[in-house]
Every structure is written in structure tokens, then in C-alpha cells.
Structure 1
Amino acid sequence: MTQTVLIAGAHGQVGQHVTAILGESDHEGRAMVRDDDQVEEMESQGADKTVVADLTEDVSHAVEGCDAIVFAAGSGGDDVYGVDRDGAINLIETAEEAGVDRFVMLSSMGADDPESGPDSLEDYLTAKAEADEYLRRSGLEYTIVRPGELTNESGVGTIEVGDDIGLDAGDIPREDVARTLVIALEHDALVGETFEILSGDEPIEEALETIAAN
């Protein structure tokens, strides 16, 4: 079924891959960016439509008419509680008010236990954990994807998936994370699931089917 999908954080590194992948699909990808000067760039990367909105402000105009949301936004460490937590919560609440059903969250490995990670990441992981928990308690049909360390290598289309892989177990290309988010979006059996991913040997579709079957 064709869906109108809002990509929050479309101009970010994962978000650009999500935009391109959706641009090659039957779905309508609506790229959400913060600045007007990013609009043309996103449309050149495959966005069917681009909307300017700030996660820390009113985003109702961005969400209107959407069937699903992929949250790929991130503060880059500048304002983790304002963007990674409160910005996500703002979008979740707006999605509920607008009647959006599906929400796929890009989280992070280690969000289950922020204090166990590096001190430099504790605030970030705490913000992610609190956003994830808010999503779980919402009325949205959610999936939470938690990758390990991200790299800019080309994606290979294969991953390892689990629920307790370990924060230092490896890394994964951003392109493979983006493809996982898009495939999860289309997988009804993944509603209500939270899982971790790293580079691995199993094709993404097959790996996610394993999660869905459990």
C-alpha cells in the first residue's frame, strides 16, 4: 500500500539515505528540513515533497496528510534533550493528534542502559531512552530500531539483529540503517518491536522477518 511518509531529519546523514530509498519506492516521501535553503537539495535526492519545520516548534503542518513517520533526526550532540528527546516527543504528540498511525524511530544501541555506555554518550542515550519510552506509551503503531556505531561506508544490505547485542560489538553503515527503517515501516508484524542492528550476514528483509516471527 502506498503511503505518504514524513522523514524527520531528512537532511541528516541517515535521513538523506531514507529519502533516497523512499524516492525509489512506491511511497511518497515528504522530507522535513529546518532551513529553506535545504529544500532544493532534498528534492534532488528523491523527495517527492519537502516541508520546512523545526522539531522544537509547531510541526503540525509537516505531519498533516501523512500516513507514517520515520524519525531520523538528531542533535549531533548540540541539544540532545531539546531535539533527541523533546523534539521526538513533540512529533509523537503531533502525530497522534493528526491521526498518523505508523511511527518508526531511529534510536541507539545502549539506550536501554545509558549509564553503562561512555560518559560522553550518557546524556544522548538518556534522551533517546526517554523518547523511546514515550513512543511506547503512545497510541502509535511504533517500531524502534537501535543501531550500533554508524559509519559512512556503502551499505551491503545485510545485518545482524537482536535485542541484546552489546554497545561495543561492532558498527553498521548508515545506508543499511536507512534501508532497515524503510523495510520496518512496511512490516506490520514489527509493530510494537524494539531491536538492535549491526552489520552482519543476513539480508535485511530476512533478518526482520526473524524478529517478526518471534
Structure 2
Amino acid sequence: MENILVAGANGTTGKKIVNLLKKSQYFNPIAMVRKEEQIPFFEAKNVETVLADLKDNVDGAFNKSIDKVVFAAGSGGKDVVNVDQEGAKKLVDASIKNNVKKFVMLSSLGADKPEEANQLQDYLKAKHNADEYLKSKDLNYSIVRPGSLTNEPAANKIELKQHLDKHGEISRNDVAQTLVSVLNDDTANRETFEIIKGETLIGEALHKLSS
């Protein structure tokens, strides 16, 4: 069992990631939360938690032995520089210091060229900077860039390309499943790719990317 630190565990997508990890036979989720009152939710599900704030020192998140990290945190547009950008960088640095084997970054479609976006430019710029920082480090990673998130049921099917030439939607459930799938050692190593809803099974789409 590998210990997976989930940053942003208390978010809508984060909770889905934690649930999938909890059901897995390979991974043990450790929910990173920033408020004490968020802990009982996870304790009730028998999920370990660590208290750490991305705006502050994140070293405490690694008090337990962490094998891999999923960054699914976000400020909801309220503080994109300190959370979405600098918070991600801090967690990358701490992951390197603690010999983490893989860092999975939840990014966004459009983060490759934020200057071309009609809206959310500040957010996409922050995501771009965080992604580029991760790519520049000696740390194995997968950067996943989904389209607009919906609360639709899981379809377990996606369209995946390194560069999609269109925008589109995808359910949080399918994003969470993709993020958990790329935690596998042989999947999407040092890869950046974009996903929207599609017709290819998630596992198959990732296999094509990795082969």
C-alpha cells in the first residue's frame, strides 16, 4: 500500500479522489486539510488526515511517510497566486525533499497558453506557472488538464490528447478516476495531457499515452 497525500482533499473533486483511493487495494489516502473542523469528515470514513495550509509551511503534511502526491487544491479564484501557484510550488519542493515518487497535478485546459484565454486569465496563468515549475524539477509527474468540470455521473470514458484543439466538459468523477489511474508507476510518467468527455475508456486512453 502506498500512502497518497491529497492536497485539496476537502474540495468537491478532492473528496472524490479520496473515496476512490480508499476503495483501492494499492493506495492509502491521507487527506491534507487546512482547518481542524474539516478533520471529522475524513475520520468518520476512516481516512487519515494531516493539517497543513498551502499559504503557510507545508512540511507538516509529510510527518507520515508519503509515497505520492495528488495536488487537487484551488482557491476558487480567490487567491490564485498564493494557493494555485505558490502553494503548488511549495508542495513540489516538499515532495522533492521527502523523496516522493510521483506528483500528480490537477491543472486546467488552457493552462498551456493562458494569454489566449477570454476569461480566467489570472487563474490559468497561475496554473501554467505551477505546471512549468513542476516540469523543471527532478521529480516524476503527471499533469492532467481537464476541460470545464461538471457534476455529471461517471462515464468512465474520456477524450485524451497532449493538446486538444477544442474546449469541452468533463465530470469531476471522471477527472478523479483519471488522477487516481495515473498514480500507477507505469502510467503517464513525465506527461502533460488534456482531457474532456469522450468515447474511450479511461484506462485505454492512458495506456495509449504511455505505450
- TM-score range with shorter-chain normalisation? over 0.9
Contact 1:110/1:167 (8 A) holds in 2? no
Q: Which residue of 2 aligns with 1:209?
A: 207
Query: Match of 1:165, SS?
Result: coil
Q: Which residue of 2 aligns with 1:126?
A: 125
Q: Which residue of 1 aligns with 2:192?
A: 194
Contact 1:68/1:103 (8 A) holds in 2? yes
Q: Which residue of 1 aligns with 2:85?
A: 85
1:133-173: per-residue Cα shift (whole Å, max 9, x none)? 000011111000000000011111111100221452x1000
TM superposition shift of 1:188: 2.1
Q: Which residue of 2 aligns with 1:110?
A: 110
2:168 is aligned with 1:157: no
Distance 2:46 2:59 in 1: 19
Indicate which of 143, 168, 173 corresponds to 1:175.
173
Distance 2:46 2:8 in 1: 13
Q: One-letter code of the match for 1:38?
A: Q
TM superposition shift of 1:68: 0.3
Q: One-letter code of the match for 2:85?
A: R
- Seen in structure 2, the aligned counterparts of structure 1 residues 82 and 111 have a Cα distance that, compared at 3 Å, is same
TM superposition shift of 1:125: 0.5
- Seen in structure 2, the aligned counterparts of structure 1 residues 72 and 47 have a Cα distance that, compared at 3 Å, is farther
- Seen in structure 2, the aligned counterparts of structure 1 residues 127 and 47 have a Cα distance that, compared at 3 Å, is farther
- Seen in structure 2, the aligned counterparts of structure 1 residues 22 and 113 have a Cα distance that, compared at 3 Å, is same
TM-score calculated relative to the size of structure 2: 0.95
Distance 1:186 1:178 in 2: 14
Q: Which residue of 2 aligns with 1:184?
A: 182
Contact 1:29/1:47 (8 A) holds in 2? no
TM superposition shift of 1:47: 5.6
Please tell me the root mean square deviation across aligned C-alpha atoms, in Å. Answer: 1.2
Distance 2:46 2:98 in 1: 22
TM superposition shift of 1:32: 0.5
Q: Which residue of 2 aligns with 1:67?
A: 67
TM superposition shift of 1:43: 3.1
1:19-52: per-residue Cα shift (whole Å, max 9, x none)? 00001012110000111111111233x4630111
Q: Which residue of 1 aligns with 2:55?
A: 56
Q: One-letter code of the match for 1:204?
A: I
Q: One-letter code of the match for 1:37?
A: E
Q: One-letter code of the match for 2:92?
A: I
List runs of 5+ in structure 1 lacking aligned partners: none
Q: One-letter code of the match for 1:199?
A: K
Distance 1:200 1:76 in 2: 26
Q: Which residue of 2 aligns with 1:141?
A: 140
Larger mean CA deviation between 83-92 and 33-42 belongs to 33-42
1:69-122: per-residue Cα shift (whole Å, max 9, x none)? 000001100000110000000000011111112100000010110011123x10
Task: Point out 4+ residue stretches in structure 1 off by more than 2 angstroms.
Answer: none
Distance 2:166 2:10 in 1: 26
TM superposition shift of 1:187: 4.2
Q: Which structure shows the bigger proportion of residues in helix conformation?
A: 1
